[in-house]
Amino acid sequence: MAAEPAAYPFTVQDAQTASHTFYIHPNESPSTVLVSPPLSEGNYHNWARAMKMSLLTKNKLGFVDGSIAEPPQDHPVSPFWQRCNMLVLSWLIKSMSVEIAQSILWRDKATDVWKELRERFSQADLFRISELQEEIFSLKQGDSFVSKFYTSMKTLWDELDILNPLPVCTCNPRCSCGAIKNIEEERNKNQVVRFLKGLNDQFSGVRSQLMLLDTLPNVNRVFALIAQQERQFSAENISGSKAMMASRESSHDNRGGASTSHSGSSQSQSNSGYHSSQSSSGGYHSNSGGNRYSSKKCSYCGKMGHTVDDCYKKHGFPPGFKFKNPKYANKSANCVHIADDDQDSEGGSSGQDTRFGFTADQYHHLLALLPTSESKSSSSQHTAV
């Protein structure tokens, strides 16, 4: 007599319980994307790990690993299994690239899809293992921070552990020779060495100290020490940069102050013409301190800082006036002499003649060449006759 098939372990009451694997929460939608980035030809192991974590949290991992068998078609719980199976299948398809999704679209069971993807993309062979080893040995820090460099190397180590896992003791009772523990320590030592050798030369000091230890610490502990050293370097660089910047600003301010003082003096000379701040007379120099930005403006020469009543260019320079710019000394001295001679001879009515810049002899010689009033009248009478 043939043995009766074992009864299916789940009932309809189980499927209606919120904690059961057949229960579908109202928020669980077939269009939900559980994993990002989607599955491609080069990220299967990372994608499979993330997908297992997501399915486990939703209590649906048994639909891909085969632990939840399909019930008979006439079993009351069969519709609940079909719904959950299609929901998981939709999640798998939404988390793949378009090309891969098209190739498994017509599969009916999530377990078949999971098995096919593992066979196609796991690449658990010596070629992929050799590629990972080469990438680990050639990986260098470069311009990256220590954390980013360690993350990149840790990703390669994890993938290598999946393709080339550590052996598991199957002895009963369990083996007590410690061989598995020694293998784990050897792998940790290799990871520490590869991580330290990939660092930049600025970590050569701490690298030498760590590699001289008889027993290397865990690779995560080594990363924490290197990250602490990096933060110390960054703090020192920031302090040095601030000190250098402060020194440059101080030097710039000193040079700028001297340049501003010199420029202000030169500009004052060029704007005021013949005027000088060393004058002892009362004009605009004593009132404004020689500031060329004074609100006063001369209507005669057009310069700022004084009025027409105090304009040396119109009224002449005082005796003993000292010029800062020697090129104006002779010209201004001639103007002063002419102004003095004109005031003595004509009662100070030749204020405008000082603008010509002639010497006293030249000025009188020019006056002698001009016709007098008597010669003009005689010439007119002669013409009339």
- Average pLDDT over every residue of 109-113: 94
**CA-CA-CA-CA torsion for 148, 151, 156, 159, nearest 10 degrees?**
-150
pLDDT for position 194:
94
- Please tell me the chain's helix, strand, coil percentages from 3-state DSSP, rounded to the nearest 5: 60, 0, 40
Query: pLDDT tens for residues 150-192?
Result: 999 999 998 888 888 888 777 777 777 778 888 899 999 999 9
CA nearest 334: which of 309, 356, 301, 351?
356
pLDDT for position 4:
42
In the predicted model, is pLDDT for residue 377 greater than 90?
Answer: no
Per the document, the length of the chain is: 385
CA distance 247 to 254: 11
Q: Tell me which of 77-86, 293-302, 319-328 is least confident.
A: 319-328
In the predicted model, is pLDDT for residue 322 greater than 80?
Answer: no
Could you tell me which residues come within 8 angstroms of residue 116 by beta carbon, excluding any fewer than 6 positions away? 104, 107
Helices and strands, counts by H and E, the chain: 16, 0
DSSP secondary-structure letter at 7? Answer: P
In the predicted model, is pLDDT for residue 344 greater than 60?
Answer: no
What six digits make up the tokens of 226? 């290197």
pLDDT for position 285:
43
pTM given for the model: 0.52
CA distance 146 to 211: 18
In the predicted model, is pLDDT for residue 235 greater than 60?
Answer: yes
DSSP secondary-structure letter at 70? Answer: P
